[in-house]
Amino acid sequence: MFETIVTDLLKDELGFKGLIVTDAMNMGGVIAVPKAANKAVAAGCHIILMPVDAKKTHSELLAQYRTDTAFKKQVDEAAKKIIRMKIVLGLLSAN
Q: Is it the case that residue 94 has pLDDT exceeding 80?
A: no
Extents of the domains making up the chain: 2-88
Return the pLDDT at 5. 80
In this prediction, residues 76-91 reach a mean pLDDT of: 94
This prediction has a pTM of 0.86
Q: Binning pLDDT at 50, 70 and 90, where does residue 1 land? A: low
CA nearest neighbour of 51 among 39, 63, 43, 42: 39
Q: For residue 15, give the nearest of 25, 7, 23 by alpha carbon.
A: 7
pLDDT digits (tens, 9 = 90+) for 19-78: 999 999 999 888 889 999 999 999 999 999 999 999 999 999 999 999 999 999 999 999
